[in-house]
């Protein structure tokens, strides 16, 4: 157990906070609910951005930037939208020393302001599809903030697209959901369940909301990304129209989708342990930390070997050498474990003599995760080890989720199931039933999974006993 | 002259607006002074970001993100700072449906909030230097907005560093100025003058402000980037202290520095012409546009050649093919000229027969800038042409600046000089004199150039006749 970090099994929430602070990922701001993302945390975000941005561009999306200030009247144009976001708004009433004629809202999301621009930019079918994404900050007033998971200001990307047909908009919303899921599983090493949100959980103003849901280390669910088919709701509210090939004026079909800095919270909660972070190699800012070990008289020869190690690693991986003299090797081991660096290379006098280096996996503690590698093959060995760590983290997270996912058939079993993790049940689809489940157990409808097995014949809702219409996933959630 | 674009010589300001709108770089927002940066404009910003970010990281800086909302009381802690920024603030008074106890300022710049965090994060000399940058949006209420040049909300990077000694802070401020200048000249093809700001023009709260100043196409100056040595002013206001090696508590020395989306305005104003944008190849989102030319019966064979051209260009350059059937080749030429693509490749039936392609430089109109290249050597020829265009743009801008930079020795000559462009004069250094020069001519002190020739012996201020202390650059400015 690392110094200053509460045991994960003892108090998960406190463990989470301790890790975020001690690993210097983020810090609370003087304004309640806001945070500063420190360089190590931001480097994670940059890797997330780079990786997602490439996927968006490969599928034809381009980045742009829309104004942060939205006239209050714009937010009101879509009825569900204003109802959903009103309680969370930050409002600018004064600018340049004067009271403003109309108060401005700091964007909680940008459908309204982007709808305004799309109605100007889109004229004909030739302008479609319009596929735009933006990376920016948004503000949603937060009464119970948690670093990364729920903050008043956060960073995210929001994609906004306009299409000629309902089918194309639906395809887009699903394409992005697939990108999110592939990203989560391949890069973050977090298995996710793709699903549709229930009516009461969907985005205010959407026709359908899709989601990816992950299981965190405390067995609660986290919504990790959403993709919305907005139908023509926003096109009608903001007058987004195009002339089709037959010269008829038609409303567009739009989508929106986003992931946020919340994903950093997911990385921490899924992979971390009592010693701190464990970062998946593909997103780790530092993939390999090289720690020289020596007594004073051995310094020269060890540092020569370290130079050789640097050359062997080259551009293959993201590595750093911790050659600070003011700290002991043991202290450094703890420090880099806390920061979740996936692989450590130790270079000590015995390694030098044997022309080798010692590798230690962050995800496998003790001797079991430690082995010597001849220097000549170091580059390949390191790359291979990182690949294995990435895979092992995913497998472990998947096994954990499966262990804690249940299919209760009675209400008693359901109550137990959501105490332990996820409950997948035949469900009636009724919003009132959903609300009562939440009241009684604090578990919410996370999604209706896209992968649906056939329901048992005559299946009834585990809560209310009415005929079931589909499988639904319930869990306590962040 | 392109359709819908005012002649540059006729009305520079209107030409600028026309180009920004017609080239789809940006659009005014419903909130006065704000803008949307459209994908083509944002792609320029992404190239600027990538290029600068690499330079910052190579010199040891790391990115982070600080909260956008700053308690009003923080802004007041540095006396000059609050005086300088107060008239430009946007103020949030309501959040989550309630009136806030203390109003929040939307960051106009982040010295105050970052000072707060640095005072927590910095404890000992081991924590120094702390070298952090952030890419973000800022808000400064703007009464006379111009797209990219002066907008209420804009995007920028702001570096904030803390050091153990005065010398290191000064070195840092100068290092960044050099990075900005090298970036402007090498990537943007814009020659700049490095200088120190006069007392009245410096950043509110700085000890010294450095600047790079460029000459725009209408011969007015544009401040393109600034780097401030803040001395201990902010360290004292925000209590940023460290324990030195002798265990004594010392105040840090800090710097801050930034460039913004204003740089896109500079690109437009320096290089553009009556036909629209001319983008320097190193920053152009599309470096090469391939336009097939054919009558219907020639289509197949021309498009086969275009396929070959695509293969020959490969990853060497950023290219696109405009194979839209609904537009004529002539329309496409105009369109891509308007958008400033540096090089066009035409592939017509005659090119196909001769196994060649025709290249046309955006910066050299007519036949002079057009030549045929054998297909086999196309890749090399294109790379070489882009290099030549980059260099030619820089040389042209430099020659233009030199042509319009004067060294008046009398007041009459000075008045004429600032009508035409830049005036470099022996100056007394007096703020009152500076103010009167501005009142009489609208020219402001742009900077005291770092490169200082010896003053003529007995040199006197061209305005007030008092003994001159140094050369200073005056011009009308944006």
Nearest by Cα to B202 from B312, B345, B49, B81: B81
- B238, B112 contact by CB (below 8 A): yes
Question: Inter-chain contact A27–B117, Cβ cutoff 8 Å?
Answer: yes
Q: What is the mean pLDDT of residues B251-260?
A: 98
Model confidence at A81: pLDDT above 90: no
User: Tens of pLDDT along B224-235?
Assistant: 999 999 999 999
User: Would you state the pLDDT for residue B86?
Assistant: 87
- Report the C-alpha gap between A437 and B60 in whole angstroms: 53
Bridge partners, A212 (sequence order): A194, A225
Nearest by Cα to B305 from B345, B343, B362: B345
Question: Inter-chain contact A94–B94, Cβ cutoff 8 Å?
Answer: no
CATH number for the region A405-475 comes to 3.30.110.30
CATH number for the region A12-271 comes to 3.30.930.10
Question: Inter-chain contact B43–A62, Cβ cutoff 8 Å?
Answer: yes
Q: Is A285 helix (H, G, I), strand (E, B) or coil?
A: coil
Name the one residue in this structure whose structure tokens are 């040595």: B229
Question: Inter-chain contact A37–B64, Cβ cutoff 8 Å?
Answer: yes
Choose the closest CB to A39 out of B31, B132, B143: B132
Tokens describing residue A346: 């130790």
- A303, A80 contact by CB (below 8 A): no
Q: How far does the CA of residue B31 sit from the closest CA of chain A (Å)?
A: 7
- Report the C-alpha gap between B164 and B174 in whole angstroms: 16
Model confidence at A82: pLDDT above 90: no
Choose the closest CB to A92 out of B88, B90, B132: B90
Nearest by Cα to A59 from A212, A227, A307: A227
Model confidence at A209: pLDDT above 90: yes
> What are the φ and ψ backbone dihedral angles of A466, each rounded to 5 degrees?
-75, 165
- A59, A65 contact by CB (below 8 A): no
User: Tens of pLDDT along A170-196?
Assistant: 999 999 999 999 999 999 999 999 999
- Report the C-alpha gap between A463 and B261 in whole angstroms: 56
Q: Which of A49, A69, A123, A153 to mutate to test the interface with B (most CBs of B within 10 A)?
A: A69
Question: Inter-chain contact A64–B27, Cβ cutoff 8 Å?
Answer: no
Sequence length of chain A is 478
Dihedral angle computed from the Cα positions of residues B18, B21, B26 and B27, in that order, rounded to the nearest 10 degrees? 100
Is A288-388 a CATH 3.40.50.1970 domain?
Answer: no
pTM across the whole model: 0.96
Residues of chain B contacting A152 with CB distance shorter than 8 Å: 69, 95
Q: How far does the CA of residue A410 sit from the closest CA of chain B (Å)?
A: 40
Residue A105, exposed/middle/buried by CB under 10 A (0-12, 13-18, 19+)?
A: buried
Q: What is the mean pLDDT of residues B331-341?
A: 97
Residue A1 — pLDDT band, cuts 50, 70, 90? low
Tokens describing residue B230: 């803040």
Instruction: Give CATH superfamily name and number for B288-391.
Output: Anticodon-binding domain (3.40.50.800)
Cα–Cα distances in Å, from B196 out to B79, B209, B452, B470, B471? 22, 6, 11, 11, 11
Q: How far does the CA of residue A142 sit from the closest CA of chain B (Å)?
A: 7
Residue ranges, CATH 3.40.50.800, chain A: 288-388
User: Tens of pLDDT along A282-322?
Assistant: 999 999 999 999 988 999 999 999 999 999 999 999 999 99
Nearest by Cα to A122 from A246, A255, A235: A235
Q: What is the mean pLDDT of residues B49-61?
A: 98
Tokens describing residue B414: 């000075």
Q: State the pairing for strand pair A253-260/A153-163.
A: antiparallel
Tokens describing residue B452: 């200082």
User: Would you state the pLDDT for residue A84?
Assistant: 85
User: Tens of pLDDT along B420-459?
Assistant: 999 999 999 999 999 999 999 999 999 999 999 999 999 9
- A253, A209 contact by CB (below 8 A): no
Bridge partners, A290 (sequence order): A321, A345
Bridge partners, B132 (sequence order): B62, B160
Q: Is A95 helix (H, G, I), strand (E, B) or coil?
A: strand
Enumerate the H helices of A195-244 as residue ranges: 233-238
User: Would you state the pLDDT for residue B1?
Assistant: 59
Residues of chain A contacting B94 with CB distance shorter than 8 Å: 89-91, 93, 103
Cβ atoms within 10 Å of B299's Cβ, excluding its own? 14
Q: What is the mean pLDDT of residues A385-396?
A: 98
Name the one residue in this structure whose structure tokens are 């402000």: B209
Nearest CA in chain A to B87: A96
Model confidence at B19: pLDDT above 90: yes
Cα–Cα distances in Å, from B473 out to B405, B424, B451? 9, 5, 11
Sequence length of chain B is 478
- Secondary structure (DSSP) of B73-131: HHHTTSHHHHHHHGGG-EEEEEETTEEEEEEEEEPSSSHHHHHHHHHHH--BGGG-SEE
Q: What is the mean pLDDT of residues B227-251?
A: 97
- Report the C-alpha gap between B424 and B468 in whole angstroms: 12
Model confidence at B4: pLDDT above 90: no
Residue ranges, CATH 3.30.110.30, chain A: 405-475
A12-22 and A262-271 helices cross at what angle (nearest 10)?
Answer: 110
Question: Inter-chain contact A67–B94, Cβ cutoff 8 Å?
Answer: no
- Report the C-alpha gap between A355 and B40 in whole angstroms: 54
Question: Inter-chain contact A90–B88, Cβ cutoff 8 Å?
Answer: no
Question: Inter-chain contact A137–B136, Cβ cutoff 8 Å?
Answer: yes
Q: Which of B36, B141, B150 to mutate to test the interface with A (most CBs of A within 10 A)?
A: B36
Chain centroid to Cα A274, Å, comes to 22
User: Tens of pLDDT along B20-49?
Assistant: 999 999 999 999 899 999 999 999 999 999
Residues of chain A contacting B66 with CB distance shorter than 8 Å: 29, 36
Residues of chain A contacting B89 with CB distance shorter than 8 Å: 94-97
Tokens describing residue B100: 């806030």
Counting runs of H as helices and runs of E as strands, what totals does chain B give? 14, 23
B406-475 CATH choice from 3.40.50.2000, 3.40.50.300, 3.30.110.30, 3.80.10.10: 3.30.110.30
Share of chain B above pLDDT 90, in %: 95
Q: What angle do CA B229, B235, B241 make, to 5 degrees?
A: 125
Between B238 and A78, the more confident residue is B238
Residue ranges, CATH 3.30.110.30, chain B: 406-475
- Report the C-alpha gap between A275 and A4 in whole angstroms: 10
Question: Inter-chain contact B30–A86, Cβ cutoff 8 Å?
Answer: no
Q: Is A474 helix (H, G, I), strand (E, B) or coil?
A: strand
- A23, A37 contact by CB (below 8 A): no
């Amino acid at each position: 157990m690392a110094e200053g970090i509460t045991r994960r099994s003892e108090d998960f929430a406190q463990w989470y906070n301790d890790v975020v602070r001690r690993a210097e990922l983020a810090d609370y701001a003087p304004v309640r609910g806001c945070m500063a993302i420190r360089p190590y945390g931001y480097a994670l975000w940059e890797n997330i951005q780079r990786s997602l941005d490439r996927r968006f561009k490969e599928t034809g999306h381009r980045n742009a930037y829309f104004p942060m200030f939205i006239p209050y009247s714009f937010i009101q144009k879509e009825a569900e939208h204003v109802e959903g976001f009103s309680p969370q708004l930050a409002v600018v009433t004064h600018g340049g020393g004067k009271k403003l004629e109309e108060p401005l809202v700091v964007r909680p999301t940008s459908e309204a302001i982007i709808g305004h621009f799309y109605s100007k930019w889109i004229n004909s079918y030739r302008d479609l599809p319009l596929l735009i994404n933006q990376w920016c900050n948004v503000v949603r007033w937060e009464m119970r903030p948690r670093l990364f998971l729920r903050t008043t200001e956060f960073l995210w990307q929001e994609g906004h697209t306009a299409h000629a047909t309902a089918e194309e908009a639906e395809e887009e919303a699903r394409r992005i959901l697939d990108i999110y899921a592939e990203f989560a599983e391949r890069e973050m090493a977090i298995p996710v369940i793709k699903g549709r949100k229930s009516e009461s959980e969907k985005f205010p103003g959407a026709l359908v909301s899709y989601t990816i849901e992950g299981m965190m280390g405390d067995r609660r669910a986290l919504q990790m990304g959403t993709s919305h088919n907005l139908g023509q709701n926003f096109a009608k509210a903001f007058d987004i129209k195009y002339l089709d090939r037959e010269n008829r004026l038609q409303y567009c079909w739009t989508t929106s989708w986003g992931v946020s800095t919340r994903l950093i919270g997911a990385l921490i909660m899924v992979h971390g342990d009592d010693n701190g972070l464990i970062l998946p190699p593909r997103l780790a800012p530092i993939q390999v930390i090289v720690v020289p070990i020596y007594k004073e008289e051995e310094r020269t020869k060890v540092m020569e070997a370290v130079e050789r190690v640097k050359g062997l690693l080259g551009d293959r991986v993201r590595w750093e050498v911790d050659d600070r003299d003011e700290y002991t090797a043991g202290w450094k081991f703890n420090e880099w474990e806390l920061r979740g660096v996936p692989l450590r290379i130790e270079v000590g006098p015995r390694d030098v003599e044997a022309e080798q280096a010692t590798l230690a996996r962050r995800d496998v503690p003790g001797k079991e995760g430690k082995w010597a590698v001849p220097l000549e093959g170091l580059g390949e060995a390191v790359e291979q080890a990182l690949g294995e760590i990435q895979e092992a983290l995913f497998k472990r997270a998947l096994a954990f989720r499966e262990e804690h996912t249940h299919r209760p058939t009675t209400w008693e079993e359901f109550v137990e199931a959501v105490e332990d993790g996820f409950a997948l049940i035949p469900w009636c689809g009724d919003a009132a039933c959903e609300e009562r489940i939440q009241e009684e157990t604090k578990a919410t409808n996370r999604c209706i999974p896209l992968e649906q097995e056939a329901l048992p014949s005559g299946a009834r809702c585990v809560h209310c006993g009415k005929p079931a219409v589909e499988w639904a996933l319930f869990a306590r959630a962040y």
